């Protein structure tokens, strides 16, 4: 999650004021530099999903791999 936040701050113009990572969700107080907050959230979700899927696929000890993917 932290990597996805860094990506959005550097590449997508996210001005992040506060965040809180919870076990099942995340809270943000942010501003979109290009005035498109929904697009920024979409890109954050897309980037995070790609990282999660890659982590699951590359973990040989993940017993639920078929179910998760």
Within-domain flag for 20: yes
- Total domain count, the chain: 1
Q: Which of 47, 40, 48 is nearest to 12 (CA)?
A: 40
Within-domain flag for 41: yes
Confidence of residue 69 (pLDDT cuts 50, 70, 90): confident
Whole-prediction pTM: 0.77
Within-domain flag for 67: no
Token pair belonging to 52: 């999660």
Q: Which domain holds residue 33?
A: 2-60
**Tens digit of pLDDT for each residue in 30-57?**
999 989 999 999 999 999 999 989 989 9
Within-domain flag for 33: yes
Within-domain flag for 66: no
Within-domain flag for 15: yes
Token pair belonging to 14: 């996210």
**8, 44 contact by CB (below 8 A):** yes
Within-domain flag for 69: no
């Amino acid at each position: 999650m932290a990597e996805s936040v860094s990506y959005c701050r550097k590449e997508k113009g996210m001005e992040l004021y506060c965040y809180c990572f919870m076990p099942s969700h995340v809270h943000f107080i942010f501003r979109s530099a290009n005035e498109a907050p929904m697009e920024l959230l979409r890109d954050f979700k897309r980037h995070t999903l790609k990282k999660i899927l890659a982590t699951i696929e590359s973990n040989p000890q993940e017993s639920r791999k078929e179910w998760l993917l």
